[in-house]
Amino acid sequence: MDYRELFAQENKGVRERYHLIMERIASIETEETVEQPFLLYFKEAAKFILMIGRLYDLVESGSYKSQTLEELRQWNERLYGDILPDHYDKSYTNPAYGAKKLGEDMGPVLAYLFAELRGEIVFAMESRLTEITILNELFIEIYNLFEGEVPDIKKVKEAVYWFNSDYTDLTLAYRTREVLDPSLSFGKEIVMDSDLQDLRYLYFYGEYVSEEELKIAEFLNSLPEETIDSMAHTYTKGYQKGFEVMGRDLSKKRSVAVLFELGFERMVRRAVEDFREMGLEPIIFRAPVWSVNKSPNRKRGFHGTSPNRQYEYDHRYDSALYLKKAFTDRKLAVLKTSYEALRKEAADYAGPAVIETFGEEGFEPVNKPEAFCLSEKQEKLTIAYAGESTQVANQYIPGDETSFTIIAFPKPSIGDCFEEIFHETIRINTLDYEVYKKIQQAIIDRLDLADYVVITGKGENKTNLKVKLHTLRNPEKETNFENCVADVNIPLGEVFTSPVLSGTEGRLQVGSVYIGDYQFKNLNMEFRDGKILSYSCDNFEDPEAGKALIKQMILKNHETLPMGEFAIGTNTVAYAMAHRYGIVDKLPILIVEKMGPHFAVGDTCYSWSEDTALYNPDGKEIIARDNEISILRKEDLSKAYFNCHTDITIPYRELDEIYGVTAEGEKLPVIADGKFAAPGSEMLNEALLGCE
């Protein structure tokens, strides 16, 4: 069924409820039945909801898309203005302001409610009247609790809990369909049917539109067709190549998820055409809106520049308000039912193709005590649900039948040299596959002689790590390291392995590294038997606040994680570019991981597909697909996976040595004083000249 028909039917069934609840909300403007200061909050929220009602009417009538660029700008400003940095200090969505004005207990809960109401912006744009109606009914339910006297906080929390629990079969079920069903084509139609020279199209999504989106769209419109073709082909052919390298049959698949940021539609349109030629129908879905579907660590789906990263940080754990065992059990049951209903779509799904961006200034979050955070019990529930939900997904979308690809481009915020850096990035993304394949094989040949590898830093970098390698029983046919060229991770340039945990130990230190949107300063980790023993960073004066950030963003709330990957990046061209423009601290991990040795904590690179044989271009089988934890899947899946894999890179400038050590104690240099030393890898040093 076409998504318009789907929503038309749903809207017809809920329209009377919608009009009744909007009439009730409109009456709040003249009522005085709630005590101050809460009345002011409810009037402000009601004003926002009524604005959404006007937006919905414009969308339904078709007149929203006929507005001028300036009129659309004004709408976007009105819809997102209260959470922009200049206004956020006095926004009821700010838990700190809410606590100040409405009380330490009630303020953060009502801030959550207002933040959840903001999801109505995109529901109005997609004509999803059911979602608007149920949110407004929750609002009135809580408003009614305040009429007469201030209610017990428990009653308000109970209303929030039962709302999220009762409607999980809508919110979670739709999200599951949204990411698997190509017929839900709201975003795809904007990409494929809009006049991309007319930048009004950016406002048709309902996302916040900043100067970044307008500038990148305008820039892509200025590029010749052959440049757009090159960008799209590198991306889509990398996806196709990933299936070939992994020995997986792409011809059995029928859909691919295309994830991107607003402004890249011209490239995405060309990529959609490429994917269709492969027999894949793209799925283009939005980053999640409901708190029940959000991840605190990433946005999965199309989105614009964040209107305010502190706002998103403050609300990253809003689910703590209603998260309990009964709720996660309910979610898991709904998830299973949803996947069963989408069994065919899940079987057709080939995996995601991601376009990332970089260039924004680093974000240093403020930890507000008023913002919700997970209790220790809730952290365990979250981890357990992540593992169980991944098992459910893997039943319907086996990990050994799918693949992915990721590519990244700069945004205008990277600086005055944006256009030069953009073209340099295109060049880096299209480096010669065959040249690097040969060089990386030379590095692998040396590493395969080693029993373990030592990595040391220089100067202020005190890294001193020993990484234990698997034993090759048949060196003529087996290897420890994958020769990673340009397929799933673009640009090319790394060799990587899953270490043996026992015997992997020492200290990892990085002066500055980005993990997602967060810049970690002087990140330190100690490993013993391949697991994180302790950790710290210098982001905050209080060391405990730094540890809390690491636990949230790197350990994903686990008490410890194993080293799931050790890799050596070989893309010195990317490093030289970053050095030349002074943007090392603005590059995404996708590129940074190719610019030095990196270590991933969490699952191995082969999680959920360890039993699938994998071979390098030289024909040798990569045998380092398991470690002592992942192998536990044969006994108990719940003990084998952490459902995370986070890369941490040491740049060449902080690197002293990387060398293998044979069983007999012979030292085998791979990098010495920050330069490549393995025979056959010397060419990589040419790009490093002048980077000291």
Confidence of residue 486 (pLDDT cuts 50, 70, 90): low
Omega of the bond leading into 37 within 30 degrees of 0 (cis) = yes
107-135 confidence digits (pLDDT tens): 999 999 999 999 999 999 999 999 999 99
CA-CA-CA-CA torsion for 139, 141, 142, 143, nearest 10 degrees? 80
**Calpha distance 592→121 (Å, rounded):** 36
Distance CA 579, CA 571 (A): 13
Mean pLDDT, the chain, whole residue set: 94
Q: Which residue has the higher pLDDT, 263 or 675?
A: 263
Q: How far apart are CA 139 and CA 197, in angstroms?
A: 40
- Predicted model pTM: 0.90
Buried b (16+ CB within 10 A) or exposed e, 34-69: beeebbebbeebbebbebbbebbebbeeeebeeeee
Residue 263 φ/ψ region, left for φ over 0, alpha for ψ in the -120 to 50 degree band, beta for the rest: left
Quick check: 203 and 122 in contact, CB under 8 A?
Answer: no
The answer on pLDDT for 202 being more than 80 is: yes
Q: Considering only CA atoms, which of 416, 438, 436, 417 is closest in space to residue 428?
A: 436
CB 471 within 8 A of CB 463: no
Three-state SS at 106: helix
What does the alpha-carbon distance between residue 22 and residue 53 come to, in Å, rounded to a whole number?
Answer: 8
Pairing outcome for strands 452-457 and 464-468: antiparallel
Number of C-beta neighbours around residue 277 at 10 A: 9
Integer Cα distance of 196 and 206 in angstroms:
16
Please state, for a pLDDT cut of 90, what percent of the chain lies above it: 81
Q: Is the peptide bond before 491 cis (omega within 30 degrees of 0)?
A: yes
Task: List pLDDT tens digits, range 237-293.
Answer: 999 988 988 889 999 999 999 999 999 999 999 999 999 999 999 999 999 999 999
**E strand or H helix at 13:** helix 3-27
Average pLDDT over residues 571-591: 88
User: How large is the average pLDDT for residues 591-598?
Assistant: 87
Does residue 428 carry a pLDDT above 80? yes
| DSSP secondary structure letters along 190-252 | HHHHS-TTSGGGGGGS-S---HHHHHHHHHHHHS-HHHHHHHHHHHHHHHHHHHHHTT--GGG
DSSP state, 356? E
What are the CA-CA distances from residue 668 to residues 33, 37, 478, 665 (Å)? 79, 71, 19, 9
Q: What is the pLDDT of residues 612-665, one digit of tens each?
A: 888 998 999 999 999 999 999 999 888 899 988 999 988 888 899 999 999 999
Instruction: Specify the residue for token string 């010397």.
Output: 682
Beta bridge partners of 405: 353
Residues facing residue 676 across a β-bridge: 671
Give 449: exposed, middle or buried? Use CB within 10 Å, 0-12, 13-18, 19+. Answer: middle
Residue predicted with more confidence, 491 or 690: 491
**Domain boundaries, given as residue ranges, for the chain:** 3-166, 186-406, 452-688
pLDDT, tens digit, 9 for 90 and up, residues 21-70: 999 999 999 999 999 999 999 999 999 999 999 999 999 999 999 999 99
Q: How far apart are CA 479 and CA 498, in angstroms?
A: 12
pLDDT tens figures, 137-192: 999 999 999 999 999 999 999 999 999 999 999 999 999 999 999 999 999 999 99
Between CA 85 and CA 180 the distance in angstroms is: 35
User: For position 551, what pLDDT does the model report?
Assistant: 92
CB 479 within 8 A of CB 622: yes
